[in-house]
């Protein structure tokens, strides 16, 4: 069942999404080689609680951390741990919050130092594909239009692997609501989009093959070929003519560009 949000509810959800953006911005300021992913997770938990919210992933289906931190060949749902970040790592930080009963849930991939041209391109193209998907998140379109746009840009144009096992989702008072939002599919297929539907659109794109497996911890998803994987996620409200992006990458990008330990790509949000 799809749950459409009123304008007032969408504004509340924007606050939830923005708290995630602000948390990612704080993390972007502090990323550098030598820090552990567990120390990042602790900061995330503290920042969220200081802002009168709750980390939504913690205890969700038994998930044991505040955030998911996925390094290099980890696709998503990586456990924070005592592993230190090193020069050339890429790191996807995925954060959820519950603020005033509404969930925010989004993610950003950072490069610690230089991961090489091939991986920087994967980061750039995955982020571009997210915006190409968002351009299709308008009333009257279908889920398949978003899915097709992401797959077209990543798999068909660049030969990357599009993960099939994990998908984006509706978002609201629950972390996962209908509909599912795959990153692959046919144009004009799937549920129709109506105003007020809030979606978490989240391409998970592999440099090599699309195949993944889950580790024995029951969560950590890795690429089978051991090559890098990138994950970006935005919270988006379906509107007529143009989608409304509730989360805000601009503050994260500002912090990213100001941090000399991070490599960056310039990806501009389409003006549509």
CB contact set of 191 (below 8 Å; sequence gap of 6+): 2, 142, 143, 178, 179
Rounded to a whole number of angstroms, the minimum distance from the CB of residue 266 to ligand MF3 is 25
Task: State the maximum Cα–Cα separation within the chain, in Å, rounded to a whole number.
Answer: 48
Stretch that binds ligand MF3, among 53-61, 130-138, 177-185, 262-270 (CB under 6 A): 53-61
Site for Co ion in 62-121 (CB under 5 A): 105
Does residue 128 belong to the site contacting ligand MF3 (CB under 6 A)? no
Rounded to a whole number of angstroms, the minimum distance from the CB of residue 155 to ligand MF3 is 21
Does residue 102 belong to the site contacting ligand MF3 (CB under 6 A)? no
Tokens standing for 68? 């998911």
Cβ count within 10 A of residue 148: 24
Q: Which of 47, 57, 184, 263 binds ligand MF3 (CB under 6 A)?
A: 57
231, 202 contact by CB (below 8 A): yes
Rounded to whole angstroms, how far apart are CA atoms 154 and 55?
31
Look at residue 57 and give the partner it binds from ligand MF3, Co ion, none, a contact being a CB closer than 5 to 8 Å depending on partner kind: ligand MF3
Look at residue 60 and give the partner it binds from ligand MF3, Co ion, none, a contact being a CB closer than 5 to 8 Å depending on partner kind: ligand MF3
Rounded to a whole number of angstroms, the minimum distance from the CB of residue 94 to Co ion is 7
Site for ligand MF3 in 212-271 (CB under 6 A): 233
Site string for ligand MF3, 159-178 (x = CB under 6 A): ----------x---------
169, 181 contact by CB (below 8 A): yes
Q: Which helix (H) or strand (E) holds 198?
A: strand 198-201
3-state secondary structure of 103: strand
Angle at 171 between CA 43 and CA 59, to 5 degrees: 45
**How far is C-alpha 153 from the chain's CA centre?**
17
Q: Which of 5, 77, 153, 210 binds ligand MF3 (CB under 6 A)?
A: 77
Q: How many residues sit close enough to ligand MF3 to count as binding (CB under 6 A)? A: 11
Does residue 200 belong to the site contacting Co ion (CB under 5 A)? yes
């Amino acid at each position: 069942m799809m749950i459409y949000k009123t304008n007032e509810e969408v504004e509340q959800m924007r606050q939830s999404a923005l708290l995630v953006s602000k948390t990612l911005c704080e993390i972007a300021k502090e990323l550098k080689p030598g820090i552990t992913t567990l120390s990042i997770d602790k900061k995330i938990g503290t920042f969220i609680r200081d802002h009168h919210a709750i980390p939504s992933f913690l205890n969700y289906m038994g998930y044991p951390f505040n955030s998911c931190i996925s390094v290099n060949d980890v696709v998503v749902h990586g456990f924070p741990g005592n592993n230190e970040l090193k020069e050339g790592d890429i790191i996807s930080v995925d954060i959820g919050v519950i603020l005033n009963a509404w969930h925010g849930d989004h993610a950003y991939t950072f490069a610690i130092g230089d991961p090489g041209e091939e991986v920087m391109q994967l980061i750039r193209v995955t982020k571009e594909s997210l915006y190409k998907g968002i351009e299709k998140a308008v009333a009257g379109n279908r889920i398949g239009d978003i899915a097709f746009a992401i797959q077209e840009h990543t798999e068909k144009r660049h030969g990357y692997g599009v993960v099939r096992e994990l998908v984006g989702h509706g978002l609201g008072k629950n972390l996962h609501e209908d509909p599912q939002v795959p990153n692959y599919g046919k144009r004009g297929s799937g549920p129709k989009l109506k105003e007020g539907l809030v979606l978490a659109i989240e391409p998970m794109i592999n440099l090599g093959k699309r195949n993944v497996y889950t580790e024995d911890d029951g969560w950590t998803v890795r690429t089978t070929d051991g090559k890098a994987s990138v994950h970006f996620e935005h919270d988006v409200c379906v509107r007529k003519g143009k989608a409304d992006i509730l989360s805000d990458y601009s503050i994260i990008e500002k912090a990213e560009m100001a941090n000399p330990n991070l490599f960056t790509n310039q990806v501009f949000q389409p003006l549509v």
